[in-house]
Structure 1
Amino acid sequence: MTRYLLVPGRGIPFPGHWSRAWVRDHPEFRWAPEPPGPPYVAADRVAALHASISATDEPAILVAHSAGCLTVAVWAAQHTGPVRAALLVTPPYLDPAWAPAPGETVDVFIDQVPRGALPFRSIVVASRNDPMTTFEQFEAYARDWGPQLHDAGAVGHLDSRTGFGPWPDGERLARSLASPAQP
């Protein structure tokens, strides 16, 4: 059985969020880590993801939402492990030149998003009307990270607030990553 590790974003997903349904309904889907809620501390999230990935030699498919996608990018820049692929759902865009102002307190988490190619197969799920990322910025992540770009249409941030409880298309995308890549 393939293991799917769900990497949460900044906050705790609402009870109707698609990720909660996947964990509830499918034993092969597990949190990495259990959604801790804010504040988002990158080092803690990356360490928890690394512990989850390293818990066994069985290859994992990572399914990350929002800031969880950035956790995956940071993890991949710092670690290796048995990861077969990743589904990166609506990552928030941080400009490569962005830096917090002196003395600015932010619960953003990293000073820079890694922009190198990920060492495993991946799909970035892009929205046409995400409030945090333009479609062109999703395309920039796809160019930098080297994944396939999936245009999900006008789906907001693909969260409960924008009408997504169940998301069967997303589950199909995640499960497609368990198959060998097509040439």
Structure 2
Amino acid sequence: MDRFGHPGDARQPVVLTIPGLNNSGSGHWQTCWEDMRGDCQRVDLGSWASPTRNSWVTRLDAAIREVDGPIILAAHSLGCLAVAWWGALQSQAYGWPVTGALLVAPPDCDRMETPETIGGFGPTPRAQLPFPSIVVASRDDPYIFFERAHSISKNWGSSFVDAGRCGHINADSMLGDWTFGQALLEGLIDNAHDQAAAMRHMRPAIPLAHQERRAIAMRSAG
């Protein structure tokens, strides 16, 4: 492991917010969370107006590696694709150091009419994500059909949440601090704590089992 901490780390997760195309400005729920919560910090993916998949994934990986402890990702729009590609290209053990992800309004990068600015993020990864995740979709999102969002969530192994009719779930949706989204985030945080507690409970049994195997081997050799 090339970072501090371990899967039983009980510290409060750091929430990395990952915007989509053109970044998230004032009035966006990601910006509101960063202003009001003490656990959120934005990942600077760079090239906000003309993103490339490899660059964004590399910058996301660097941001993840800088965190000492458990991490939850809170991504919006094209940021969800950066997370999916990171999960597909990296080899983290399940649930560590990224312990969960909230993936809000992923766009469909596989449609014929997909703008060139985001087309390079397709085809959408189909691999299951190496951490618990929630995909949140709107029924009138102009960038993806609701059924397609549900299909993507199944491929990623994510829980699927119907957000109703609220557009692209961005600043134009007038969600403010989006208390519904924060409740989903808190669920992921609680799950991370539960998983850490379970790992701490299991850890003392590991050396004991090793000792038992060694004793059996010694008896057999004798």
Deviations, residues 42-97 of structure 1 (Å, cap 9, x unaligned): 111111110111113411000000000000000001114410000000100123x8
Amino acid across the alignment from 1:106: E
Mapped to 2, the partners of 1:177 and 1:161 lie a distance apart of: 26
Mapped to 2, the partners of 1:38 and 1:130 lie a distance apart of: 20
Contact 1:18 1:164 in 2 (8 A): yes
1:89 to 93, 100, 104: 104
Mapped to 2, the partners of 1:60 and 1:84 lie a distance apart of: 6
Structure 1 unmatched runs, 5+: none
Structure 1 counterpart SS, 2:117: coil
Q: Structure 1 residues 114, 34: CA separation in 2 closer, same or farther (over 3 Å shift)?
A: closer
Amino acid across the alignment from 2:177: P
Mapped to 1, the partners of 2:46 and 2:31 lie a distance apart of: 10
2:124 to 84, 101, 113: 113
Give the RMSD, CA atoms, in angstroms: 2.2
* More moved, 30-39 vs 131-140: 30-39
Residue 52 of structure 1 aligns with which residue?
Answer: 63
Q: Structure 1 residues 19, 90: CA separation in 2 closer, same or farther (over 3 Å shift)?
A: same
Mapped to 1, the partners of 2:72 and 2:132 lie a distance apart of: 9
Mapped to 2, the partners of 1:14 and 1:63 lie a distance apart of: 15
Report the structure, 1 or 2, having the larger helix content.
2
After the TM superposition, which residues 1-183 of structure 1 pair with which residues of structure 2 at under 5 Å, given as runs?
Answer: 1-33=12-44, 37-81=48-92, 82-95=97-110, 106-108=116-118, 109-180=120-191
- Total equivalences in the alignment: 177
Structure label with greater radius of gyration:
2
Structure 2 counterpart SS, 1:24: helix
Contact 1:128 1:151 in 2 (8 A): yes
Identity, % of aligned pairs? 36
TM-score, scaled relative to structure 2? 0.74
Mapped to 2, the partners of 1:34 and 1:118 lie a distance apart of: 20
Mapped to 2, the partners of 1:34 and 1:112 lie a distance apart of: 20
Deviations, residues 81-123 of structure 1 (Å, cap 9, x unaligned): 410000000100123x8699xxxx9222324221111111000
Instruction: State the 1:174 CA deviation.
Output: 1.0
Q: Structure 1 residues 117, 26: CA separation in 2 closer, same or farther (over 3 Å shift)?
A: same
Structure 2 counterpart SS, 1:166: coil
Structure 2 unmatched runs, 5+: 1-11, 195-222
Contact 2:135 2:161 in 1 (8 A): yes
* More moved, 117-126 vs 158-167: 158-167
Mapped to 2, the partners of 1:89 and 1:115 lie a distance apart of: 17
